[in-house]
Amino acid sequence: MKKHNRSIESYFESVGAGASDVGLSKEDIKKDFLHKLFYHLGRVPALTTPNDLYTAMALTIRDRALRKFVRSTEEFTQQDARGVAYLSAEYLPGPHLGNNLLNLHIVEETKEALAELDLDLDEILDQEGEPGLGNGGLGRLASCFMDSLATLGIPSIGYGIRYEFGIFKQEIREGWQMETTDKWLHSGNPWEIVRPEISYVVKFGGRTEHRTNGQNRYEVDWLPDSEIKGTAYDTPILGYQSNGIIMRLWKAEAVESFDFSVYNMGDYYRAVEKKLRSENITKVLYPNDENLSGKELRLKQQYFFVSCSLQDMIRLHTTQGRELKNFHEKFAIQLNDTHPSIAVAELMRLLVDEHEMEWDEAWDITRQTFAYTNHTLLPEALEKWTVSLLGRILPRHLEIIYEINSRFLEELRDKGYSGDQIARMSLIDEQGEPSVRMAHLATVGSFKVNGVSELHSRLLKSQVLNDFADLWPGKFTNVTNGVAHRRFVAVSNPGLANLISEKIGSGWLTNLSSLSELEKFAKDEKFQQRWRDVKLQNKTALTRFIEEQTGVKVDPAMLFDVQVKRIHEYKRQHLMVLHIIDLYLRIKDGKTENIAPSTFIFAGKAAPGYFLAKLIIRLITAVADLVNDDEEVNKLIKVVFLPNFNVKQAQRVYPAADLSEQISMAGKEASGTGNMKFALNGALTIGTLDGANVEIREEVGDENFFLFGQTTEEIQQTRREGYRPYQYYEENEKIKRVLDFLVSGELANGDKELFKPLYNNLLQQDPYQLLKDFDSYCTKKEEVFKVWNDQKEWTKRSILNVARMGKFSSDRSIQDYCDRIWQVKPVKIQE
Ligand code: NBG
């Protein structure tokens, strides 16, 4: 086929196949499904496995998704629009099939097509695993953004890493978290297409040579000591009845040129070893959320995917006949945290060293291209690379960073900045072992910097990047996070989605604010009853799942009180546990009045090297065993730890929750997005004034939100006054009793030592001020129980929560990015 400027439509028309070669009718789907099953997978009907059925269906739908992608790309190219490249080291797309069916509007057609073949869509959906290519909120946010970018018709592409092993699989053995590898590719991945022709060479190590060329131009050669090839793997991401975009993930491979021709036996093995070593780069995701490990391989991963992505953008740009001096007019590149921030130096290198651009022009372009999103204020999570490591892996980039820094510091000196200020703002941290501050590199190299909630953006400006915000006030902005409500409500909670659409129409699918039309039904008792029926159904389904996974039987009539997220001290899962222990002790004392029957549900992974987080899981499972086995207690409360929290499990949990626990110490949770998913599914929130909780409360109304705990200011005040947690232990009977219980041995077959580290941590430092917030939390829980006992009141609040959550769609977040940061316009396909 020769290259023509013809549209995809015209090709099909010319062979008489009609424009709808991948039709959406029941018959089209059925025919294509059988075609995939027999001719693509080569299956004999009698030997078909459930995975075959799933794969055939996925391939059927992938064709339709690709059609949208091809059409969108045609349109983007024609309109010559500015586009967005989202650079993220993590993505958590979740299962694709259900979401794609919704977006193509063919759930019913597919169900029927399968039913006619005696197959069940739900069983097929259940077959799908998920790419666990992220740790938590940050990776999931990237995937929510892909969904919204496609839906809004923004010319865009998401770049990342195709880890062969994603986030570990969590099992619970004898109460402890155990990690096993996540072999997500083992039964194949029908959604991706490998693009062997889209590949780039990435260099590592070695040294640089500086010289002046014939035209008197100063030039630098980078003579690396190894090279690795990155190959593109594309997954189409569909918008809702809209465009399709691509998530392009890079896989590391040995470069073609590695030399098999000159081997003897020994060299052959060495050559193969070298190949394996190359592939190591994209082998496994680092399972640390909010923490930096300083690992060489991690830096290599970051550079690898960034370099491939930038080379790819430059290729896209120049093959369309454009000049590099216009690069920033065609691309806005969003840095999802500092993980891809080496891109600032890499774009400089590509422009200056490889494309012979002058430094000043290259720097102008770079600074008009990048924008940086910060996702955490936790000091231990701010990325730094030692100068010695960075210089060894990326010698040329270290030189470029030094050059950027020296020019930047010169600017500060000219402005009269003091030595102290300059040391604070420098890209190089000279305290201790010299290291590169990646957040500073990202800030200096970007035209906009944003936090992910109002509070977080404010704290970012007043704390972590304070000096930069003073220098460039206009550079800083906020974009509050949002979630893909279609996945987390329409796909996960069809009962609620149908009820809502029946009342107010389906406009909320593309315009979440229209949920406000539900407000008028908040007190309607018939509607309330239906609202509760849906919740009960979802809880019953979760009950079955809990029993399957943990063997624990729970009663769906109980209050489902849920905390699911990564396990971290700052998120304070143990605060919830301390309260459960208090309830247990009360019940044992026979003081059961005012306790609403509750099931406490936890899920989440702990970083494998994070001892206290793992001990918190051990504590939850210990409390679960104690409570669930005690006849006197288990009628009133139960405790469950669901192993291996991931997107698929999350989609079962949110719809079944009554109460959402968002109880981090104020100032620590940048935004939270689980908080939004819960509230959108009708859970009420108990939470602190942290992250996006603040805005959720503003929206849903103080009276519909269970607020407790100190504010950021109060926390700082407490710290300034010299926080002494031991004092709370001494002065507060309840705290003393609960903490003593931790080390009484009753939770651990007489072992008094097991939970000592947590006990000591709380009594000696309590860095997240649990003890200080404990009373306020318990008091609020009493109120929760009271409101729960008034089901009409509870349901009214639940309806109002949903009705007022319109702000928290990722569609709105992406619109904010477009308006405040990228300055890009939608190019929607017409179909
Ligand atoms: C996380 C924050 C969350 C936030 C997500 C998405 C990191 C580094 N940060 O509060 O902890 O919701 O990012 O912005 O993973």
**DSSP secondary structure string for all residues of 27-69:** HHHHHHHHHIIIIIS---GGG--HHHHHHHHHHHHHHHHHHHH
Q: Does residue 449 contact residue 370 with C-beta atoms inside 8 Å?
A: no
Length of the chain: 831
Beta-sheet pairing, 428-429 with 244-254: unpaired
Residues 685 and 692: their CA atoms lie apart, in Å, by 12
Regarding the beta carbon of 290 and ligand 1, being less than 6 Å apart is answered: yes
Q: Is 216 exposed, middle or buried (CB count within 10 Å of its CB: 0-12, 13-18, 19+)?
A: exposed
Distance 570 CA to ligand 1 centre (A): 12
Bridge-based pairing state of the strands 428-429 and 446-451: unpaired
Counting from 1 in the atom list of ligand 1, the atom nearest the Cα of 672 is 12
β-bridge partners, 386: 435
Q: What's the average model confidence in pLDDT over 109-117? A: 98
- Output the six-digit token pair for 32: 């294509």
Q: Which of 452, 457, 568 to mutate to test the pocket of ligand 1 (most atoms within 8 A of CB)?
A: 452
Read off the tokens for 305: 């995917």
User: Which of 133, 293, 375 is the pocket-test mutation for ligand 1 (most atoms within 8 Å of CB)?
Assistant: 375
In the numeric block, which tokens belong to residue 535?
């919740």
Q: Is the pLDDT of residue 766 over 80?
A: yes
Are residues 274 and 252 in contact, defined by beta-carbon separation less than 8 angstroms? no
- For residue 138 and ligand 1, the question of a CB distance below 6 A is answered with yes
* Cβ-based neighbours of 23, under 8 Å, separated by 6 or more: 29
Residue 337 CA: nearest ligand 1 atom is: 8
CA 604 / ligand 1 centre spacing (Å): 15
Average pLDDT, the chain: 95
Q: Measuring CA to CA, which residue among 39, 63, 66, 64 is closest to residue 52?
A: 39
For residue 481 and ligand 1, the question of a CB distance below 6 A is answered with: yes
* Residue 560 main-chain phi, psi, to 5 deg: -95, 110
Confidence of residue 3 (pLDDT cuts 50, 70, 90): low
Classified as helix, coil or strand, 519 is helix
Q: What is the mean pLDDT of residues 458-479?
A: 98
Residue 277 confidence class, pLDDT cut points 50, 70, 90: confident
d(CA 659, CA 636): 16
CB contact burial 567-584 (16+ within 10 A = b; e otherwise)? bbbebbbbbbbbbbbbbb
Per-residue model confidence as pLDDT tens digits over 433-443: 999 999 999 99
Predicted local distance difference test score (pLDDT) of residue 95:
98
pLDDT in tens, 592-608: 999 999 999 999 999 99
Expressed in angstroms and rounded, the spacing between residue 376 Cα and the centre of ligand 1 is: 6
Of 525, 549, 206, 119, the C-alpha closest to 397 is 206
Ligand 1 centroid to Cα of residue 289, in Å, is: 9
670 in contact with ligand 1, CB cutoff 6 A: yes
Question: What is the mean predicted confidence (pLDDT) over 374-382?
Answer: 92
Tell whether the model's pLDDT for residue 228 goes beyond 80: yes
Structure tokens belonging to residue 216: 């008197």
383 Cβ below 6 A of ligand 1: no
Those residues whose C-beta lies under 8 Å from the C-beta of residue 405, and which sit 6 or more positions away, are 426, 427, 428
Whether 460 is in the pocket of ligand 1, judged by its Cβ within 6 Å, is no
CA 248/CA 260 separation, integer angstroms: 30
Atom number of ligand 1 nearest to Cα 669: 10
Task: Say if residue 399's pLDDT is above 60.
Answer: yes
The predicted structure's pLDDT at residue 617: 98
Ligand 1 centroid to Cα of residue 276, in Å, is 33
Give CA separation, 469 vs 275, 417, 448, 472, in Å.
46, 14, 11, 5
What sign for the dihedral angle of Cα 815, 816, 821, 823?
A: positive
140 C-alpha to center of ligand 1: Å? Answer: 9
> What atom of ligand 1 comes closest to residue 140's alpha carbon?
6
| C-beta of 155 in contact with ligand 1 (< 6 A) | no
* Backbone angle region of 667, left / alpha / beta, with phi > 0 → left and psi within -120 to 50 → alpha: left
Index of the ligand 1 atom closest to the CA of residue 137: 5
Residue 193 forms beta bridges with which residues? 234
Q: Is the CB of 143 under 6 A from ligand 1?
A: no
CA gap 230, 309 in Å, rounded? 9
Write the pLDDT tens digit of every residue in 404-426: 999 999 999 999 999 999 999 99
Residue 343 alpha carbon to ligand 1 centre in Å: 21
Tell the residue nearest (CA) to atom 12 of ligand 1. 672
Please say if the pLDDT value at position 266 is more than 90: no
| CB 809 less than 6 A from any atom of ligand 1 | no
Q: How far apart are alpha carbons 831 and 76 in whole angstroms? A: 15
- Terminal alpha carbon distance of the chain: 26
User: Crossing angle for the helix pair 611-628 and 573-588, nearest 10 degrees?
Assistant: 30
- Note the pLDDT tens digit of each residue in 670-723: 999 999 999 999 999 999 999 999 999 999 999 999 999 999 999 999 999 999
- The CB of 375 under 6 Å from ligand 1? The reply is yes
Number of H helices, E strands in the chain: 34, 22
Q: Write down the pLDDT at residue 429.
A: 98
461, 476 in Cβ contact below 8 A? yes
Q: Is the CB of 561 under 6 A from ligand 1?
A: no
Is 342 close to ligand 1, i.e. is its CB under 6 Å away? Answer: no
Q: How far is the CA of 456 from the centre of ligand 1 (A)?
A: 10
pLDDT at 6: 76
Count of other CB atoms within 10 angstroms of residue 466: 14
pLDDT band for position 279 (cuts 50, 70, 90):
confident
Instruction: Indicate whether residue 202 lines ligand 1 (CB < 6 A).
Output: no
Pocket test for ligand 1, best of 671, 688, 816, 817 (most atoms within 8 A of CB): 671
Give the C-alpha distances (Å, rounded to integers) separating 60 from 37, 257, 345, 530, 831.
9, 37, 42, 36, 19
693 lines ligand 1 (CB under 6 A): no
- Ligand 1 centre and the CA of 481: distance in Å? 9
Q: Is 738 in the pocket of ligand 1 (CB under 6 A)?
A: no
To the nearest 10 degrees (0 to 180), the angle between helices 611-628 and 756-764 is: 110
Per-residue model confidence (pLDDT) at position 9: 75
Q: DSSP 3-state assignment of 290?
A: coil
Test site for ligand 1: of 376, 459, 565, most ligand atoms within 8 A of the Cβ: 376
pTM of the model: 0.97
Q: With bands split at pLDDT 50, 70 and 90, how would you rate the model's confidence at 270?
A: confident
Under a CB-based contact definition with an 8 Å cutoff, are residues 695 and 453 in contact?
Answer: yes
Complete DSSP assignment for 117-167: TT--HHHHHHH-----BS-SHHHHHHHHHHHHHHHHT--EEEEEE--SB-S
Q: Which atom of ligand 1 is nearest to the CA of 673?
A: 12
CB of 699 sitting under 6 A from ligand 1 = no
Query: Atom 15 in ligand 1: which residue has the minimum CA distance?
Result: 138
pLDDT of residue 278: 81
- Dig out the tokens for 638 from the structure: 């139960």
**Is the distance from the beta carbon of residue 346 to the nearest atom of ligand 1 less than 6 Å?**
no
pLDDT at 764: 97
Neighbour-count burial of 585, counting CB atoms closer than 10 A to its CB (0-12 exposed, 13-18 middle, 19+ buried)? middle
Mean pLDDT across 320-340: 96
Q: For ligand 1, what atom is nearest to the CA of residue 375?
A: 9
Residue 504, number of CB atoms within 10 A of its CB: 18
Question: Tell me: the pLDDT tens digits for 770-816?
Answer: 999 999 999 999 999 999 999 999 999 999 999 999 999 999 999 99
Secondary structure percentages of the chain, helix, strand, coil, to 5: 55, 15, 30
What is the Å distance from ligand 1's center to 183 Cα? 25
- Does residue 19 register a pLDDT over 60? no
Kindly report the protein residue whose alpha carbon is nearest to atom 13 of ligand 1.
138
> What's the pLDDT tens digit per position in 551-601?
999 999 999 999 999 999 999 999 999 999 999 999 999 999 999 999 999
Q: What is the pLDDT of residue 261?
A: 55
Best residue for ligand 1 mutational test, from 138, 293, 678 (most atoms within 8 Å of Cβ): 138
CB contact set of 449 (below 8 Å; sequence gap of 6+)? 371, 372, 373, 374, 442, 443, 460, 465, 468, 475, 476, 477
Alpha-carbon span 299 to 69, nearest angstrom = 32
What integer is the mean pLDDT of 71-91? 94
Phi, psi dihedral angles at 635 (to 5 degrees): -75, -25
Q: Average of pLDDT values for 644-658?
A: 98
Nearest residue to 669 via CA among 801, 771, 569? 569
Burial class (CB in 10 A: 0-12, 13-18, 19+), 323: exposed
**Among candidates 264, 276, 366, which has minimal Cα distance to 314?**
366
Question: Which residue shows structure tokens 């509870």?
Answer: 794
pLDDT of residue 380: 86
Catalytic residue numbers? Answer: 375, 565-566, 571, 673, 677
Question: Which atom of ligand 1 has the smallest separation from the CA of 456?
Answer: 10
d(CA 451, ligand 1 centre) in Å: 10
Determine whether the shortest distance from the Cβ of 129 to ligand 1 is under 6 A: no
Cα 233 → chain centroid: 20
Ligand 1: which atom is nearest the Cα of residue 290? 8
Question: How many angstroms is it from 547 CA to the middle of ligand 1?
Answer: 31
CA 443/CA 467 separation, integer angstroms: 11
State the burial class of residue 563 (Cβ atoms within 10 Å of its Cβ: 0-12, 13-18, 19+).
Answer: buried
Interval between CA 375 and ligand 1 midpoint (Å): 5
Alpha carbons 404 and 411: distance in angstroms, whole number: 11
Q: Which of 331, 369, 367 is nearest to 82 (CA)?
A: 331
Q: How far is the CA of 596 from the centre of ligand 1 (A)?
A: 33
Q: Give the Cβ contact number of residue 440 at 10 Å.
A: 26
Cβ of 457 less than 6 Å from ligand 1: no
Q: Does 684 contact ligand 1 (Cβ within 6 A)? A: no
d(CA 773, CA 763): 14
> What is the spatial distance between Cα 180 and Cα 705, in angstroms, rounded to a whole number?
39
**Cβ of 164 less than 6 Å from ligand 1:** no
Q: Rounded to whole angstroms, how far apart are CA atoms 595 and 349?
A: 64
pLDDT of residue 45: 86
Q: What is the DSSP string of 672-714?
A: -SHHHHHHHTT-EEEE-S-TTHHHHHHHH-GGGSEE-S--HHH
Beta bridge mates, 334: 86, 371
> By C-alpha distance, which of 629, 626, 572, 621 is closest to 601?
621
Q: How far is the CA of 671 from the centre of ligand 1 (A)?
A: 6
SS3 for 230? strand
Q: Which atom of ligand 1 is nearest to the CA of 141?
A: 6
